[in-house]
Copies of this chain bind each other. A is one copy, B any other.
Amino acid sequence: MIDLHYDRDGLVPAIAQQHDTGEVLMLAWMNREAVEETLRSGRVCYFSRSRNALWRKGETSGQTQRLVELRVDCDEDAVLLLVDQVGVACHTGRRNCFFRAVRGDALVELRAPAVDPRSLYK
């Protein structure tokens, strides 16, 4: 099994990138168990810091991420997940979580939700 340098909470940041378009979908966190489950199952599993539990992406919303490749950075303290995203990655109903950008002193919204988030979490 691969060895990563987990932080003092036992976590590494994980970037999810759509494997074919290059779109950066989200940033979340993984502990050792999440990394191992993801590699074993081929479905991306994170660690939810707010729920303090494994977070099998899409288990309630259906918006799963199939793992295409797991890459590790030079310091072995961050991972890049090349994934195939089903539907939308963001809980707001947008394809990716980075939908606001700085313009001057303000944040502007770059895109509206693609789906109603209430339809994702029934």
Contacts and interface: CB of A to CB of B under 8 A. Distances in A.
A96 to B, nearest CB: 8
Chain A interface bracket (under 10, 10 to 19, 20 to 34, 35 or more): 35 or more
Interface of A: 1-2, 13, 15, 17, 21-24, 26-27, 39, 69-75, 78-80, 90-92, 94, 97-102, 105-107, 110
A107 B73 CA distance: 11
A54 to B, nearest CB: 19
Contacts of A99: 71, 74
B102 A39 contact: yes
29 contacts: A1-B105, A2-B105, A2-B106, A2-B107, A13-B27, A13-B78, A15-B15, A15-B27, A17-B24, A21-B22, A22-B24, A24-B24, A26-B73, A27-B73, A27-B78, A39-B102, A69-B101, A71-B99, A71-B101, A71-B102, A72-B101, A72-B107, A74-B90, A74-B91, A74-B92, A74-B94, A74-B99, A78-B97, A78-B98
